[in-house]
Amino acid sequence: MQLFDISALVTGGASGLGEATARALVAAGAQVTITDLPTSAGEEVAAALGGGTRFVPADITDELTLGAAMDAATERGPLRAVVHCAGRGGDRLRILGKDGEPSPLASFEEVLRINLVGTYNVLRLAAARMVRNEPLDGDRGAVVMTASVAAFDGQIGQTSYTASKAGVHGMTLVAARDLAAAQIRVNTIAPGIFDTPMLARLREDIREGLAASVPHPRRLGAPEDYAHLALSLLQNPYVNAETIRLDGGIRMAPR
Ligand SMILES: NC(=O)c1ccc[n+]([C@@H]2O[C@H](COP(=O)([O-])OP(=O)(O)OC[C@H]3O[C@@H](n4cnc5c(N)ncnc54)[C@H](O)[C@@H]3O)[C@@H](O)[C@H]2O)c1
């Protein structure tokens, strides 16, 4: 699907992978709307991206505000592309604490609510708009979701995060099958370790250690690497129902 002049929405567009994807979409000539939490730097980021980029605040788990963001994107033309990057890290809790007590259920539920329920909310509300589009290059729309390599090799303390991202991976095939009749493609990127604000909270020596553990290239992923693949997945009409690891070949150790 061509990207020039189409309306595209990026969730989590105020930071990290979403911001880089929005920048790449602007460069490709798309009409870009970014959405992120009201507390984010979305307004400033949209202004810096230029190209008429709009910021519409929304919580991905909220039907009303997210729907309004999608409607705002639709005002700029039929919404054809959604790249869903909004999400949160895990709670870093082991199943049993040092005292042998089970970890709090509420923490597990919260990670699932944002990363998995939020992703389903993005998917269903986007599809409801895309199905009304006339096909362009054979697609009414294309969605890119974001999992993580933790979906496949989750580390100790990542039970909630891994469950949420494995859920996103698991939804990919069934969503693509389900939405095939609507001519909507659904793919997922499973990033390795990327240099974004989500990772910035780690100590520098830990970040260097992580970079050194990547087989090739021996560095953290750049948000532009993600944007490159996201745009390619939107453009290539024959990629569908796929989760692609984007990780320099890394396989995470147990801890
Ligand atoms: N950075 C990495 O190494 C890495 C690795 C694997 C997967 N991921 C995934 O990539 C995605 C993007 O991560 P990032 O590194 O760009 O992080 P980031 O923290 O830079 O950006 C995430 C954005 O999502 C927004 N957000 C969080 N909860 C939201 C909600 N409920 N509603 C709307 N917006 C919300 C945040 O405000 C933030 O701007 C996440 O899903 C993350 O799990 C990141």
Residue 31: both structure tokens together: 């009409």
174 part of a folded domain: yes
Percent of the chain with pLDDT over 90: 94
2 part of a folded domain: no
| Element (DSSP H or E) covering residue 224 | helix 223-235
Say what the pLDDT of residue 85 is: 98
Q: What is the pLDDT of residues 114-128, one digit of tens each?
A: 999 999 999 999 999
CA of 137 to the centre of ligand 1 (A): 30
Active site residues: 161
106 part of a folded domain: yes
Q: Is the CB of 9 under 6 A from ligand 1?
A: no
Domain that holds residue 228: 7-246
* Residue 201 confidence class, pLDDT cut points 50, 70, 90: confident
Say what the pLDDT of residue 161 is: 98
Q: In CATH, what number is assigned to the domain containing residue 235?
A: 3.40.50.720
In contact, 155 and 165? CB cutoff 8 Å: no
Say what the pLDDT of residue 78 is: 98
Confidence (pTM): 0.98
Q: How far apart are CA 131 and CA 115, in angstroms?
A: 24
Number of domains observed in the structure of the chain: 1
CA of 86 to the centre of ligand 1 (A): 4
Ligand 1, pocket-test mutation among 21, 88, 213, most atoms within 8 A of CB = 88
Q: What is the pLDDT of residues 90-148, one digit of tens each?
A: 999 999 999 999 999 999 999 999 999 999 999 999 999 999 999 999 999 999 999 99
163 part of a folded domain: yes
1 part of a folded domain: no
Q: Residue 204 pLDDT more than 90?
A: no
List the beta bridge partners of residue 158. 93
Ligand 1, pocket-test mutation among 9, 11, 15, most atoms within 8 A of CB = 15
Specify the residue for token string 């986007």: 126
In contact, 153 and 111? CB cutoff 8 Å: no
Q: What are phi and psi of 202, to 5 degrees?
A: -80, 150
Q: Is the CB of 234 under 6 A from ligand 1?
A: no
Say what the pLDDT of residue 142 is: 98
111 part of a folded domain: yes
Q: What are phi and psi of 93, to 5 degrees?
A: -110, 135
Report the range of poorest mean pLDDT among 18-27, 150-159, 193-202. 193-202
CA of 2 to the centre of ligand 1 (A): 26
Q: Is the CB of 222 under 6 A from ligand 1?
A: no
Average pLDDT rounded to a whole number, residues 186-194 = 98
62 part of a folded domain: yes
Q: How far apart are CA 11 and CA 244, in angstroms?
A: 19
72 part of a folded domain: yes
Q: How far apart are CA 198 and CA 88, in angstroms?
A: 8
Q: What is the pLDDT of residues 50-90, one digit of tens each?
A: 999 999 999 999 999 999 999 999 999 999 999 999 999 99
| 195 Cα nearest atom in ligand 1 | 1
